[in-house]
Amino acid sequence: MDSLGYLVSGFGVATTMQNLFYCLAGAVVGTLVGILPGLGPIAGIALLIPATFSLNATSAIIMLAGIYYGAMYGGSTTSILINVPGETASVMTCIDGYQMARKGRAGPALAICAIGSFLAGSLAILGLVFLAPPLADAALAFGPPEFFSLMVFGFVVLSNVTGGSLLKSLMMAVLGLIIGTIGLDPVSGNPRFTFGQVSLLGGIEFVAVAIGLFGIAEVLDNAEKPDEVLEQRVLVPRFRELYPTLRDLKESLGASLRGTGLGFGIGLVPGPAPVLATYASYMLEKRIAKHPEQFGQGAIQGVAGPESANNAACQSAFIPLFVLGIPFAPPTAILLGALLIHGVNPGPNMIAEHPDLFWGVVASMYIGNTILLLLNLPFVPLFANILRIPKKILLPLVMLFCLTGMYSVNNFMVDLWIMLGCGALGYLMRKWAYEGAPLLLALVLGPRLEVAFRQSLMISHGGFGIFVERPVSLVFLLATGGFLLLPLFRKVARSLGRRAATVS
């Protein structure tokens, strides 16, 4: 009841003319940085921090938070239209979203993303209002051993996310792990696999690999097609087909709700939560789908689930930031910097010390999500019309967007070379039917897995018992074992059943 009362006063703060304006500004900028490949919420927030110096803390955070969740709306646009992930959490959306667009259903895909994001955002804020303090405490139970076991579980469950050949998926995952070892060793600080190159000390930029494997590879793949194909437009959508049908909505509702739940939970775990949430949601939808063979061919659930999951994860990532003062995800680390510069040092007392700020920002998230839905739906026809551009003009533009977008992330030329190299790799991978998603997952999880593993062993002075002695860690390890053995059990059960049938 207390929370509700505070929330009402929060709406009072959020609905002043000034704060409404900054909420709108944040949502618009967020959508834009989400759409531009490479430029993501991290860069967007960081670049606008100086612009907030003259604002009060509440208005500043309302705007900067708007950029973060706004980017989750915008990120799906380029994934669907041109197979380039607009930001890292939109990698999974490329898979079925782009297939939908190729079948002339870009409009419904874009609209479902906006609707799913809205649903997820609104529900996750409820979680933020009512569950924040207990959830934050639960998150603290995750130390290095628990984190390691969770990562192992995630790795095993998600590595074959797109289906296809398990062997090829594992090969790609291992390649991702290898790429992830480049840079300074996390324990000794010694350079590894940098071959004396200063530019590799910080490791390989995830965004460069993601855009290369998806976007650049797509352009290369198309470039070799005959001229007649390049003269064609990707599709010419009819207006009636721009918005989802009732059947689309029905099919995607369940996926959105499940994605919301998954995303909200994963958002509480330290790490790149929105990315992992999208993988997990895609995997879940495929597992429980009536027609799993449609996944990879343009299944609407494969778009609705992950897009809802990344929005929910992005909202719940505010819980550790506001309640513990600790950023679990990189964009919230930048928000922490913004809070500090405005004289707010978030910690256990923040909600009590700055109720106006906390409840004002939470209330503004409702308003922001509504603004984003209203902002994104009318633009669906406009964006879908991009596909009317003949391919021979569209593809060079895509290349240009990828190059400028990537450079804008770190202002660093080496990232561009890595992106182009990954583009060439991605092209070859397509020719021989290797998936990019497991490689990207391994690149995200690998370094964290390694750090958690070595931290655990350092804490236990080398004893492996630490992974099974701690209950949370043991549960994840058992779940991993169960998952691996499940197909075996099924096989045994089936053959036993068959034997029983022949006997009778």
Partner 1 sequence: MRMAVSLILGLVLALGMAGAAPAGEFPAKEVQIIIPWAPGGATDLVFRALAASTSKYLGKAVVVVNKAGGAGAVGYTEAMQARPDGYTLVTAATPLTILPHQATTAFTYASFDPVINVVQDPAMFQVRADAAWKALPEFLEYAKKNPGMITVGNSGAGGGVHLIALAFQMAAGVKFNHIPFSGGGPSITALLGGHVHAVSCSPPEGIAHVKAGKLRIIALFSEKRFDAFPDVPVVREQGVNFSMGQWRGLAAPKGTPPEVIQTLHDAFKKGMEDPAFVKNAADMTVNLAYAGPAEFGKMMAADHERYAKLVAEIKKQ
List residues binding partner 1 (CB under 8 A).
42-43, 45-47, 49-50, 53, 139-144, 183-191, 194, 196, 198-202, 270, 320, 324-328, 333-334, 336-338, 340-350, 410-412, 414-415, 448, 451, 455, 458-459, 461
φ/ψ of 191, rounded to 5, equals -70, 140
**For residues 69 and 366, which CB has a smaller minimum distance to partner 1 in the complex?**
69
- Taking the complex as a whole, the smallest distance from the CB of residue 479 to partner 1 amounts, in Å, to 21
* Burial of 291 from C-beta contacts in 10 A (0-12 / 13-18 / 19+): exposed
Q: Which is nearer to partner 1, 196 or 497 (CB)?
A: 196
The three-state secondary structure class of 412 is coil
Of 41 and 244, nearer to partner 1 (C-beta) is: 41
Nearer residue to partner 1 within complex by CB, 60 or 119: 60
Burial (CB < 10 A; 0-12, 13-18, 19+), residue 275, is: buried
Q: Which is nearer to partner 1, 465 or 497 (CB)?
A: 465
* Nearest CA-CA partner of 80 in 71, 70, 91, 88: 91
What are the two backbone dihedrals, phi and then psi, of residue 243, each rounded to the nearest 5 degrees? Answer: -110, 150
Nearer residue to partner 1 within complex by CB, 217 or 338: 338
| Identity of the residue, 185 or 231, whose beta carbon is nearer to partner 1 in the bound complex | 185
Q: How far is the CB of 504 from partner 1 (least distance, A)?
A: 57
Q: How far is the CB of 187 from partner 1 (least distance, A)?
A: 5
Amino acid at 298: G
Helices (H), 86-226: 91-102, 106-140, 144-158, 166-180, 206-211, 217-223
Q: Which is nearer to partner 1, 286 or 448 (CB)?
A: 448
Least distance (Å) from partner 1 to the CB of residue 213?
A: 20
What DSSP assignment string belongs to 302-370? Answer: HHHHHHHHHHHHHHHTHHIIIIIS--SSHHHHHHHHHHHHTT---STTHHHH-HHHHHHHHHHHHHHHH
Min dist CB 151 to partner 1, Å, is 13
Q: Can you tell me whether residue 184 is helix, strand or coil?
A: strand
CB 446 within 8 A of CB 176: yes
For residues 116 and 372, give the distance between their C-alpha atoms in angstroms, rounded to a whole number.
12
Residues 6+ apart with CB under 8 A from 342: 52, 56, 57, 60, 61
CB of 89 to partner 1, least distance (A): 18
CA–CA distance, 324 with 312 (Å, rounded to integer): 19
Q: Side chain identity at 431, as an amino acid letter?
A: K
Nearer to partner 1, 154 or 237 (CB): 154
What the block records as the tokens of 108 is: 């419904």
Among candidate residues 19, 31, 121, 33, the one with its CA nearest the CA of residue 63: 19
Q: Read off the amino acid at residue 473.
A: S
Which lies closer to partner 1 via its Cβ, residue 125 or residue 452? 452
Per-residue burial over 470-487, b if 16 or more Cβ lie within 10 Å, else e, is bebbeebbebbeeeeeee
State which residue, 296 or 337, has the beta carbon closest to partner 1: 337
State the nearest-atom distance from the C-beta of 214 to partner 1, in Å: 22
Residue type, 122: S
For 86, list phi and psi in degrees, rounded to 5: -65, -35
Tokens of 194: 């940098």
**At its nearest, how many Å lie between partner 1 and the CB of residue 124?**
21
Question: Are 474 and 481 a contacting pair, CB within 8 Å?
Answer: no
Residue type (1 letter), 349: N
Minimum gap (Å) between residue 330 Cβ and partner 1: 8
Amino acid at 407: Y
Q: How far apart are CA 201 and CA 348, in angstroms?
A: 36
Minimum CB distance to partner 1 smaller for 105 or for 470: 470
Question: What is the residue-wise DSSP string for 188-252?
Answer: T--EES-TT-GGGTT---HHHHHHIIIIIHHHHHHHTS-HHHHHSBS----GGGGS--HHHHHHH
Q: How many residues does the chain have?
A: 504
Of residues 226 and 462, the one with the C-beta less far from partner 1: 462
Least separation, in Å, of the C-beta of 335 and partner 1? 8
